[in-house]
Structure 1
Amino acid sequence: MSELFVGIDSGTQGSKVLIIDRKKRVIVAEAYATHELIEDNRGNREQEPAWWIAAIAAAMAAAFEKGKLNPKQVRAIGVSGQQHGFVPLDKTGGVIRPAKLWCDTATAAEANAMTARLGGEEKVVDLIGNAIAVGFTASKIEWLKKYEPANYAKLSTILLPHDYINFWLTGERKTEFGDASGTAYFDVRRRRWSDEVLRAIDNSGKLAECLPAFVQADEPVGKVRPEIAKQFGLDGAVLVSSGGGDNMMAAIGTGNVTAGVVTASLGTSGTIYCFADQPVVDPQGELAAFCSSDGHWLPLVCTMNVTVSTELTRSLLNMDIQALNKNVEKAAVGAEGLLLLPYFNGERTPALPNARATLFGMSSTNFTPENLCRAAMEGATFGLRYGLDVLKRNGITPNEIRLVGGGAKSKIWRQIVADIFNCPVICPTTQEAGALGAALQALWCFTHAQGGKASLKEITDEFVSLDAETAAEPHARNANTYHEIYAKYLKLNEQLRPLY
């Protein structure tokens, strides 16, 4: 009999459900449903958690139907969720207000005020291992306390997006170390909540009582509720694994569970991260010193604008993705001098939440659709290159980078990444790394619950493969040219900082 494991990846734009068959060692079904987004020009980015649940329910039902699968064969479910979101619950478990998301920059003043209250950024990094980035959860709680005191008074439980989905599945209010490390009120060295940061938000001690208990990476949060089992036709003994943030799950889904592997995501935002067996703390606070969702650590750098740049350009020029890629291929390396600082949504790394995008170097001869497309792709990649430099500054040098995300589907973009990073790149066979990682963690959790000893690496080695056709090696001439252009990118960035 088949044993099925479900991976849920709830992102900003939608939720993916992926199902693997343990015996066949393959993905047997996938489905996707979209979310709405509440946004404004003040930096607010919010969603109703009920939208996530509706999308997951629709995708789950569709996946079972598409794969002609028997839900009774499901053994465990794992959840990957967008990091840093703030889901406030009242004492009944009801959602108090829409969740503020990772990309919400309306809380910049609160992040800065908290940092100052705690003695400055150096002191904060020494205290918890991370700076209080605008996108992290802590400033969202401070914002609620300041601007919506009536809602803050109702606050009984604080959950992250993946925690809330686990809560829906099991009724349990728990979390794990990986996603918790992106809150800015978690000490990554000691793997505990930071009472100092919590009291900097509210010195009454209330917040410590609002936080969920921890489970280990290979432990289940619980079993599915009877209502969930009935809704999807599941067995009542189905386990729900600890889950984690989308980056933590994507690390598992790309086989990034041992030293030497680096993953980069070309999504709406960009991330670049790797496995570590001890905390990697950046004194400058630009590196996110995260824990992983496999019991180790996951040093990571995030940028806010990757496919944002190419999608806005594509929309402006009324092109489909194929046309965008063809125009990029037509343009010369360096886009004949056009250079884009891609800060359409502000920027996290470097920390410039109020920055805006800048197109530099326009002339009457180079202002063409081809060069605009190339500049958008190159500018987004230079932003990620800055993140790679942060990793290198902290002692991490990749031999190969595994690319995921929508942008990784583009052959020309993969080559640009290889040239700008001056490093070989390759894509996993399965691009849905977050959902696959969640399913593999669920399998790991179930195996241990049954008394098995399989390591997570043994499991990823069975299910994660690389697509040789996507490999790209850096071209020396292009790499040298990009090295010079990147120096100009950094100089332009520094000169414009005072204007943000």
Structure 2
Amino acid sequence: MGLFIGIDSGTQGTKGVVLDGESGRILAEAYAPHELIEGEHGLREQDPAWWVEACRSVIAALMDSDGVDSSAVRAIGVSGQQHGFVPLTEAGEVIRPAKLWCDTATAPPQCAAITEAAGGHEAVLKAIGNSVAAGFTASKVVWLKDNEPENYDRLATILLPHDYLNFWLTGERRTECGDASGTAYFDVANRRWSTELLDAMDPSGKLLACLPELIDSDQPVGVVRPELAREFGFGSDVLVSSGGGDNMIAAIGTGNVVPGVVTASLGTSGTIYAHSESPVIDPQGELAAFCSSTGGWLPLVCTMNVTVATELTRRLLGLDTGGLNALAAEAGAGASGVMLLPFFNGERTPALPSATASLHGLTPSNYIPANLCRAAMEGATFGLRYGLDVLLRQGVRPTEIRLVGGGAKSALWRQMVADVFGCPVVRPVVEEAGALGAAIQAAWCALRDGGERTEIADLAARYVAMAEGGTVPNPGDAARYADLYQRYLVLDRALRPVNG
């Protein structure tokens, strides 16, 4: 079957793997970090040239690895951080740094203005299946129009981060429905751009012409440009698959391509999502009604603060990751009454973009490092449990949680998720779910392009395996956490007037 490259371009860096299509083994892995532009009022940006530099470095390292024959590469798949805004001129030049998913500088005024212009929340939900959430791409485009009109006048193409890497690889300006559904100007039920939302963003009609061509998830964007093929030692016909947003591609990499599987990610932000064969629209707008990158749908809930909370606490106390875990374990369930609402970056679910984090239940005896570590871990987990409640409200019933992300490496945190969620937890053998999922999608695309009607579920079953020895809920701690989670909800509701 040949070799397939999977690239996962995230906020912190780019990861890559080489998948042997015949044996299913990962032959090589590589990583390159990204810089981040941070500023006041929630500004978070990156120069897309950094993604290209990192991607080029990763592919070169993969091709230099022992046992990898670059001439055997058949296709590349790219996963990218969702919701980012890459503005291009007609000539394909980047106009300014890309605003990222976590950039909240655009959130309050632009989201409200778009929603009002589109006829209000219910009209928006009817048009696209989602609300105009803080962090989605739409508000970033309107921010450019409002704050940098000269740059907006030069705007000819709007790409998402993974689209931009595909553009670099192939020269083609195309996208697919999974990543497109996180823009807030895409109709997820009918899989088309929403003229209603685009007109609300700019009634001149300019924006529709700025959007890339939509392709199906099993279609190639194009072939690798000749100069890049020569640089990496590829053949002349290496395909680039449609790719997708990081959550959609990680779903593939965890085998979450059939109903009944639920994936949760303990990363910088947190996500919890499931596969569906039909659109799942939340009337309250808390669930992101995304399309998948496999031709189905991916109802998803995102929280903004997971390892954000633990990393800030770790640095504050001068600990390494092992030290934080050890102290959190020492504290025990409930952190002796200390509770953290971990809204350091605001919050998406519930929709509290201006919220701040707060500690509660402090006394002279419980205000100790161990309880702060435990409270950071528990607060982030309670936030994700709120997301699970949103999915449960829409009829999603998990039989197990497939856990990924940096936090999933902690045995303590895996046990906590099992106890708080009341559900067994398993981990994929391959931790880089995004990169693996991108490689699997690349294989799917290459096989279909060659005339084989292979199903993505069959490939996922072949290439995705779960580690032995999953984690089951501890009855005592699960009961304790059920009470603590109710306290977390009461505290959150009480502070909504302040955080909302």
Q: Which amino acid aligns with 2:94?
A: V
Secondary structure of 1:461's aligned partner = helix
Q: Are residues 1:432 and 2:432 paired?
A: yes
Matches within 5 A, 1:152-163: 152-163=152-163
Per-residue CA deviations over 1:308-329 (Å, capped at 9, x if unaligned) read 0000111111111111111111
> Is this contact kept in 2: 1:253–1:438, CA < 8 A?
yes
Match of 2:376 in 1: 376
Q: Are residues 1:58 and 2:60 paired?
A: no
Secondary structure of 2:45's aligned partner = strand
Q: Which amino acid aligns with 1:480?
A: A
Match of 1:478 in 2: 477
Per-residue CA deviations over 1:294-347 (Å, capped at 9, x if unaligned) read 000000000000000000111111111111111111112100000000000000
**Residues 35-44 or 81-90, more deviating:** 35-44
The 2-side partners of 1:227 and 1:346 are apart by 44
> Is this contact kept in 1: 2:78–2:243, CA < 8 A?
yes
Secondary structure of 1:140's aligned partner = helix
Deviation for aligned residue 1:477: 1.5
Per-residue CA deviations over 1:253-273 (Å, capped at 9, x if unaligned) read 000000110000000000000
The 1-side partners of 2:456 and 2:335 are apart by 44
RMSD: 0.8
Match of 2:186 in 1: 186
> Is this contact kept in 2: 1:269–1:303, CA < 8 A?
yes
Match of 1:198 in 2: 198
The 1-side partners of 2:201 and 2:82 are apart by 20
Match of 1:464 in 2: 464
Match of 1:495 in 2: 494
Per-residue CA deviations over 1:200-254 (Å, capped at 9, x if unaligned) read 1111111000001111111101101111112211111000000000000000000
> Is this contact kept in 2: 1:418–1:424, CA < 8 A?
yes
Secondary structure of 1:313's aligned partner = helix
Residue segments in structure 2 that go unaligned for 5+ positions in a row:
none
Equivalences, count:
498
Percent identity reads 62
Match of 1:395 in 2: 395
Q: Which amino acid aligns with 1:28?
A: L
Deviation for aligned residue 1:41: 2.3
> Is this contact kept in 2: 1:268–1:305, CA < 8 A?
yes
Match of 1:281 in 2: 281
> Is this contact kept in 2: 1:288–1:299, CA < 8 A?
yes
> Is this contact kept in 1: 2:328–2:371, CA < 8 A?
yes
Matches within 5 A, 1:112-151: 112-151=112-151
**Residues 325-334 or 257-266, more deviating:** 325-334
> Is this contact kept in 2: 1:423–1:474, CA < 8 A?
yes
Per-residue CA deviations over 1:472-495 (Å, capped at 9, x if unaligned) read 111122111111111111111111
Deviation for aligned residue 1:131: 0.3
Match of 2:250 in 1: 250
Deviation for aligned residue 1:498: 1.2
The 2-side partners of 1:84 and 1:57 are apart by 22
Deviation for aligned residue 1:68: 4.2
Q: Which amino acid aligns with 2:104?
A: T
Match of 2:47 in 1: 48
Secondary structure of 2:122's aligned partner = helix
The 2-side partners of 1:118 and 1:22 are apart by 47
The 2-side partners of 1:190 and 1:316 are apart by 48
Deviation for aligned residue 1:119: 2.1
Match of 2:22 in 1: 23
Match of 2:68 in 1: 69
Per-residue CA deviations over 1:399-444 (Å, capped at 9, x if unaligned) read 1000000000000000000000011111000110000000000000
Q: Which amino acid aligns with 2:23?
A: K
The 1-side partners of 2:169 and 2:332 are apart by 51
Q: Which amino acid aligns with 2:376?
A: A
Runs of 4+ aligned structure 1 residues displaced above 4 Å come to none
Q: Which amino acid aligns with 1:396?
A: V
The 2-side partners of 1:111 and 1:410 are apart by 37
Q: Are residues 1:233 and 2:233 paired?
A: yes
Per-residue CA deviations over 1:58-79 (Å, capped at 9, x if unaligned) read 1111122233422111000000
Q: Which amino acid aligns with 2:419?
A: D
> Is this contact kept in 2: 1:122–1:284, CA < 8 A?
no
Q: Which amino acid aligns with 2:357?
A: A
Deviation for aligned residue 1:48: 0.3
Secondary structure of 1:472's aligned partner = coil
> Is this contact kept in 1: 2:27–2:67, CA < 8 A?
no
The 1-side partners of 2:66 and 2:292 are apart by 31
Q: Are residues 1:90 and 2:89 paired?
A: yes
The 2-side partners of 1:447 and 1:127 are apart by 35
Match of 1:441 in 2: 441
Match of 1:335 in 2: 335
Secondary structure of 1:42's aligned partner = helix
Match of 1:420 in 2: 420
Secondary structure of 1:395's aligned partner = coil
Deviation for aligned residue 1:380: 0.3
> Is this contact kept in 1: 2:63–2:232, CA < 8 A?
no
Deviation for aligned residue 1:52: 0.2
The 2-side partners of 1:228 and 1:121 are apart by 46
Match of 2:207 in 1: 207
